[in-house]
Structure 1
Amino acid sequence: MINNSSQAIEEMKLVGVERLLGRSQIDIANILDKALADKEISVQEGIRLFEADGIDLYALMITADELRRRSVGDIITYVKTRNINFSNVCYTGCKFCAFAASEKDEGAYFIPLAEIVQRAKDAWGIGATEVCIQGGLHPRVSENYYVEIIKAIKDAVPDLHIHAFSPFEIKFGARKRGISIEEHLFSLKEAGLGTIPGTAAEILDSKIRKLLTKDKLTTEEWVSTIKTAHKLGIRSTSTMMYGHIDGPEHWANHLALLRDIQKDTGGFTEFVPLGFVHYNTELFNKHGARAGSTGIEDIKVVSVARIMLNNWIDNIQVSWVKNGPKACQIILNAGANDFGGTLMDETISRSAGAPFGENMNPEEFNRLILDLGRVPAVRNTLYEIMK
């Protein structure tokens, strides 16, 4: 039923979503019919979809997968990339993070610039088209350090795409230099920055954010930084970290805000839902957060995202690091179309206790995608098909 979404959706059209689900779930049926008619789904309707269970959950998945097919077809993409987390030293104190360390901690590290460049060269040498660079907010980096990273990599590997620095890192870098975020972003772009990760979003809800971290970007600052980047022609991903002290109301509002930004700027390349990895975090061990998202929630987040973001953000990614490759096969049948990246050296999720490794080779991506009856394709950061 799920694998053949086109056949299932035609059946739904013939018998009607109302009859398929039964009158007890007619409100969900109406929402799904509305989505199939290419009409925008409200926040309240999104919240209702998160309540789906039983047969209406399957209908939600089928509807999302049909919208995926209409938007991007049957290709499942992935990118050859290397993560370079150049330092884990950070004093922000995010309760959900198990990656950060103080300078005196035994496991604290700071990768020299020459080593960052060498890792970028090594990645290019084995076929990567992108490096993703993020790190902790080390208090003793020089004011021009972020620009220096970009310049050094571009000098060594001019054609490598640099996807780097969360909005929080951008705020930190601008403050270090004593200039505006716009000026800082412009100088990063001039140095060779290609795109930025839309991380540090967590949940874009002020009350939740105050409980997650003591001193981080506000919702307004995250939105302003992203919009400024887009205005300068620097595109970004968009993300949501869920499954901790949040819930469906926050998820639907978050998706609606991303949709509004995309309507304004058109700068998002993709949406990446990130289930909370709880094992080694203070938020779970000391502050009563849930033990991460459930598998059903992972499916619902992707399906509702596809429906709410329909016609605005085409690409929805699964996280094999957080969910595991086999679970991702299911989620890719619920509205997603991108398998993420090869990664090479992913450390942030691994520090939190994610059990699924730090690298996956293209042959394994291809095997998993072909097993779904879909078409594997290597893309670049901007979703241009490479192979």
Structure 2
Amino acid sequence: MKALSESEAQHLSDSWAFWARDEQTPPKGDWRIWLFLGGRGAGKTRAGAEWVRAQVKAGCRRIALVAPTFSDVREVMVSGPSGFLNIGDEDDRPRYEASRHRLIWPNGAEAHGFSSEDPDGLRGPQFDCAWADEFAAWTRPQETLDMLGLGLRLGEDPRLMITTTPRPLPALKALLTQSGVVMTHATTQANAAHLAPGFVAAMTERYGASRLARQELDGVLIDDPEGALWTRSLIDQALGLPAFEPERVVVAVDPPASASGDECGIIATGCSGQGREAQLVVLKDMSLQGRPEVWAAKVAEAFEAVDADWVVAEANQGGDMVRAVLQAAAPDLPIRLVHASRGKRARAEPVAALYAKGRVRHAGRFPALEDQMCAFGASELSGSPDRVDALVWAIAALTPQAASPRLRRL
């Protein structure tokens, strides 16, 4: 294999198309706003700067650069390690006029910096593309975004790229529901090769069981909708409780209503102590989507994995069928079928109360279960909360006095 020359190696080193990950490249199709959500150090700034460079090469001549403050425009977007003054071929780099917050490329294209502290600064100017950085940290996000959008009126296809670590701001949540918005997502881990050695491991060790980690490292939008029975702070509390050895373990199953559609909730939970003094631990979430023989096999697998004492299965959707399917997967499986006489929220409220009292521990991070928990009970909840249902059945079976959803055993 022929070795690369020095100029070829330099060209390859400067080639963003070669080094960029898929989520760092513009989505295909027709869109107006590209929203790139990512954890700290996930490569958002480099992606934004490279996208603007590509727009300049494609003919854009008036660009808006918007950050939380003018200092952020200068220190991050312009002169930072992934900023315009430090990427690409030196001959193609712009010069920066600090007094005017302006970049000028050799081909005449201009980019002007703006601060979210001054939305009115975007009144008047017009652009054919824009890059908005750290949107979730903007002082006045909705007002600034509105002014920016009104200025994107040049060229045949004016577009906006937004890069940010997410926070549950109304303006960001509104963006996710708008037409013409496409999203890509990256974690800090995905860019670990370009970060200080040990940084990701250190941050994961320090914050790995917290809401902060999911937001700042995983780049996940974390929110507590109004009316939900659980909050992210309750999840963080459950993750931080001391470990203990459970005396009894149960695998709870909430079968899907159809043969192929909703997930089958499969939650393994343990308990130590009796009655109102019992302490509980959620051991595993093995929920999945699939046909009856698939989820039944997963239940049997979960039973063996946690050395469970019995299986609790919700039987509202046909108790005999549920028992038969489970016994076909594992004939000796000890099964207790239960049937609820109250609605989902009424059954879940005593379990949520146990979390509030600090009596339920999570043995690990269960993102899908946590997301269902922190949406359960909210008016905007959609879909079937199968994981939460299974969790409620498990805890109710282990602590019938502390969390009694008025169930009948069949």
Scaled to the shorter chain, the TM-score interval is under 0.3
Give the TM-score normalised by the residue count of structure 2: 0.21
Which structure: greater strand fraction?
Answer: 2
Q: TM-score, normalised by structure 1?
A: 0.22
Larger C-alpha radius of gyration, 1 or 2?
2
